[in-house]
Homo-oligomer: A and B are copies of this chain.
Amino acid sequence: MATDLETFRSWAGVLADLDGTMSLLNWDRDTTMPPSGAGTRAHQTATLATLYHRELTRPEISGVLEAIANSVAIDAQTRRQAMLLGHRRARAVRLPERLVGEISQAESESVVTWREARERGDWAAMRGPLTRLVALKRREAEAISDDGLRYDALLDGFEPDARAADLAPVFVDLSERLAPLVAQGTNRPAIELPERYWPPDAQLQLAHDLAQVVGFNLADGCIGVSAHPFSNSSGHGDVRFSTRIDERNPISNIRTVLHEAGHAMYEQGFSADFARTALRDAPSLGAHEAQARFWENHVGGTLEFWRVIEPRLHELFPDAMQGLGAEDFHAAANTVRPSLIRVEADEVTYNLHIILRFELELGLIAGTMEVADLPEIWNSRMHELLGITPTSVITGVMQDVHWPEGMFGYFPTYTLGNLYAAQLAEAADTALGGLQAAIGQHRFGDIVAFMRERIHQHGSLYPTPELMMRATGHPLSADPLIAHLERRVVSSMASVARQ
């Protein structure tokens, strides 16, 4: 057993090292690498992925995992880690190498087509590659599925321990209760900041200041700039995130910093004991996203938050801030309007975009829906959910890269993140004697400490549903998110009135 344990730990360590290295290759690609290095980088990433797969599926590990699973003397952390890696390994072993190759090729073809066909809204060009990819993803799901729904096998790659049958009723409940809120929000005037020049240097300084204010530890990480913001963990002691800077509007940068710092503080909060183990991770993307949405929406959407940073905004942007105050930002950040593009959607309508995608990919993978029919179904469901209809696939079914990338089962993690974030905000509200009050009193340390204790430190020691039940006392539900959005629509009205 001692040897098995040693083998297991060294194996898990090598996997963690390769994982962290692949993260770094991506970080560098998006923040630093000259574009001409793309071909070289693609080879490096592919080679690392191959070596990771080879290491993950090493035959002799099978016996080691079995010995750990069957031992009664093993500690809970090692047992959970062996379970997580064993599960990942089983999925990898079940996938025939040939199918992996076919999928990888179909994904490349499909992404390349998407990149050049999207701009001209050329659905005819997209249909073929996407149809082939969906057929392959159905086969992938068959191959790795235990016995449940094919879709669940894909969902499991992003949100382990979730099943479509559990998510669907919550998502339906959510969509029904969002409809009146959208109507209510839309009745209010849409507020925008006046167009002014917000110098990029000062915005980058603001990103650092803000990250530090909320509790991101800059001694254990760094901040970069990239076209698509992301957070990135190379491993213990090295957590990074990037932001996006729009010279004409500072809100995108501010919301992005809160969102990515939410992800990054989660990674900084994992127990140090989990370094180089599979426990040094969130149990699911939904759990990870919940941290980001908590900071972006439940902190960043409050008037209190904007009051906290207002003085710093005046210092950094003396010209652009003339005549502007916290209320203006609060009102602008909380405007509700049905729109066609998911990534530009407000907090209220956002989840309807996800629910649409969830329904469609569920049908596609089950085989009850075909790629050829996507634009029509998309447009009609979009109209039912949000009351608007795309006039082109550019603002319809072709807007996201996820499906061309083969990421089926990924979209629901966004709404899971929103649902869990609202549940956590409710728990934080109770624990801190009022979340908004805590924000207004600059007690960000208390908020982080709450998350550290209930969520961060545990890494992936518990499955997401268990982690959330421990942290909030409730199972997954739409109630807290609906209650939060109702309050938000009302509260932001005061700021609108003061405009």
Contact = CB atoms under 8 A, between A and B. Distances in A.
Interface of A: 13-14, 16-18, 20-21, 24-25, 28, 32-41, 43-44, 46-48, 50-51, 218-222, 234-238, 275-276
Given A24-B25, A37-B238, A275-B40, A17 B47 contact: yes
B34 A48 contact: no
A426 B46 CA distance: 45
A37 B237 contact: yes
A50 B10 CA distance: 12
Point out which of A20, A36, A47, A219 has the most chain B C-beta atoms below 10 A from its C-beta: A47
A211 to B, nearest CB: 13
Contacts of A21: 21, 25, 44, 47-48
A44 B234 CA distance: 9
A39 B222 contact: no
Nearest to A33: B238
Given A20-B40, A39-B237, A40-B238, 11 more contacts: A13-B47, A17-B46, A18-B47, A21-B25, A32-B32, A34-B222, A37-B234, A39-B236, A40-B237, A41-B238, A51-B51
B40 A235 contact: yes
B24 A28 contact: yes
Contacts of A38: 237
A69 B6 CA distance: 42
Determine how many copies of this chain the complex contains. 2
Task: Name the 6 nearest CB pairs between A and B, nearest first.
Answer: A37-B238, A40-B235, A36-B237, A17-B47, A17-B44, A37-B237
Nearest to A19: B44
A50 B236 CA distance: 21
B238 A36 contact: yes
21 contacts: A14-B47, A14-B50, A16-B43, A17-B43, A20-B44, A21-B47, A24-B28, A28-B28, A33-B234, A34-B220, A34-B221, A34-B222, A36-B237, A36-B238, A37-B220, A37-B234, A37-B236, A38-B237, A39-B237, A40-B237, A43-B235
Interface on chain A toward B: helix, strand, loop, or mixed SS?
A: helix
A167 to B, nearest CB: 35
B32 A222 contact: yes
A44 to B, nearest CB: 5
Contacts of A16: 43
Contacts of A276: 40, 43
A218 B33 CA distance: 11
Contacts of A33: 222, 234, 238
A205 to B, nearest CB: 14
Nearest to A48: B21
B234 A40 contact: yes
Given A14-B47, A21-B21, A21-B48, A40 B221 contact: no
A44 B235 contact: yes
Contacts of A34: 218-222, 237-238
Contacts of A50: 14
A50 B221 CA distance: 27
Q: Which of A32, A37, A39, A219 gathers most chain B CB within 10 Å?
A: A37
Contacts of A43: 13, 16-17, 235, 276
Contacts of A35: 219
A35 B238 CA distance: 8
The residue in A36, A218, A221 that gathers the most chain B C-beta atoms within 10 A of its C-beta is A36
Contacts of A37: 220, 234-238
A36 B234 contact: no
A236 B51 contact: no
Contacts of A236: 37, 39-40
A49 to B, nearest CB: 11
A42 to B, nearest CB: 10
A376 B370 CA distance: 83
Given A21-B25, A21-B48, A24-B25, A220 B36 contact: yes
Nearest to A51: B51
A46 B276 CA distance: 13
Contacts of A20: 40, 44
Nearest to A43: B17
A21 B36 CA distance: 16
Contacts of A25: 21, 24
Nearest to A238: B37
A189 B211 CA distance: 53
